[in-house]
Structure 1
Amino acid sequence: MSQQRLDDLLDDLWSGQERVTQAEIHRRAVAADMPADLLTRITAMPEGEYAVDEAAELLGGTAG
C-alpha cells in the first residue's frame, strides 16, 4: 500500500473534525477499498475516538 494513499485517507477523515471513531475509520477505509493489511490494523485499534496524529501513529501514516 502506498504511504500517500494512507495519508490521503487520514487527511480526508479528519477534514473539519478533531476526533474520529475507530468504527468510522474502518468504514471509510473499506469504502476506499484500502488493502487488507490496513483494515486488519484498523480492526486491531481499541474502540474509541482518535486525533489524526494518534491514528497515523497506530496505522503507520504521516498525516497530522
Structure 2
Amino acid sequence: MTDEFDQRLAGLLDGMFAGQERFTRDEVMRRALAADLPADLRARLEGLPEGEYALDEVAEALDVEDAI
C-alpha cells in the first residue's frame, strides 16, 4: 500500500475514533461509505473481521501504523 493510501485511511480512523472508544466493523463500514472513500480503501476495510474494535485494534488489523 502507498503512503498516501495509508494516510487517508489513518485520517478516517483518527476522525472516527475521536471521542469514541470502540466501533463495530459494520459502523466502520458505514462511516467509510458516508465519507465517500474510494473503492480501494473500502475494499481494504471490507477485509476487517466482524467484531468490535478500539482504534489501536482496527489499525493493527488493517496494518495502518499512522492511525495509532
The verdict on a shared fold, with TM-score over 0.5 as the criterion, is yes
Deviation at 1:41, TM superposition (A): 2.0
Matched, 1:27 2:30: yes
1:12–1:51: structure 2 CA closer, same or farther, 3 Å change rule? same
**TM-score of the superposed pair, with normalisation by structure 1:** 0.80
Structure 2 CA distance, aligned partners of 1:40 and 1:54?
18
CA contact (8 A) 1:10 1:63 kept: yes
Work out which of the residue numbers 37, 42, 46 in structure 1 matches 2:45.
42
Structure 1 runs not aligned, ≥5 long: none
Structure 2 runs not aligned, ≥5 long: none
Deviation at 1:60, TM superposition (A): 3.4
CA contact (8 A) 1:38 1:59 kept: no
Among all aligned residue pairs of Structure 1 and Structure 2, give the percentage whose two residues are the same amino acid: 55
Query: Which has the larger helix fraction?
Result: 2
Partner of 1:59: 62
Question: Where do 4+ consecutive residues of structure 1 move more than 4 Å?
Answer: none
1:43–1:18: structure 2 CA closer, same or farther, 3 Å change rule? same
